[in-house]
Amino acid sequence: MGTRNMAYDSPAYQGVGAFSQSSVAGASAVVRFGAFADMLAKTLFVKPAVASTSADTVTVLAVSNTTTKTLGVTTIASAQTTFSRLEFTTASRTLTAGDEIRVTLGTDATKVYAIAVEYQITPGANVSD
């Protein structure tokens, strides 16, 4: 399998994808996603799978080598059962292949979340064929 880039209007660049994973229970747990191409991080979705015993804060970071940028922060209520949506609206949501999206959970030790990060591949980025 090789890599290539395509015309700016290729379906590979027009569609929206998502990384998804479940967190583990525990204070300050971290869920990580690696950017496989140049992309734009768009939105975080967090759905409590196991309710918290207190309100909890979820922080989303973009990590590139030694640089860390905050993409956003959202608070999940202790008894919340519905999903929370956090749209990334800053210029720091641009990722380069090899960057990491790091979702850091707060101090509640009992919560477990289903997490998804929506992304769009940057037109002209190298992708696998």
Q: In this predicted model, what pLDDT tens digit does every residue of 47-70 receive, in sequence order? A: 998 877 888 899 999 999 889 999
Classify residue 14: in a domain, yes or no. no
Domain interval for residue 119:
19-123
Classify residue 73: in a domain, yes or no. yes
Indicate the pLDDT class of residue 126, thresholds 50, 70 and 90.
confident
State the Cα–Cα distance between residues 89 and 87, nearest whole angstrom.
6
Classify residue 3: in a domain, yes or no. no
pTM of the entire predicted model: 0.84
Per-residue model confidence (pLDDT) at position 30: 93
Classify residue 28: in a domain, yes or no. yes
Classify residue 88: in a domain, yes or no. yes
Per-residue model confidence (pLDDT) at position 17: 84
State the Cα–Cα distance between residues 67 and 11, nearest whole angstrom.
31
Q: What is the CATH number of the domain that holds 78?
A: 2.60.120.260
Classify residue 46: in a domain, yes or no. yes
Indicate the pLDDT class of residue 98, thresholds 50, 70 and 90.
very high
Classify residue 129: in a domain, yes or no. no
Number of domains in the chain: 1
**Largest interatomic CA distance in the chain:** 50
Classify residue 115: in a domain, yes or no. yes
Arithmetic mean of pLDDT, 65-85: 88
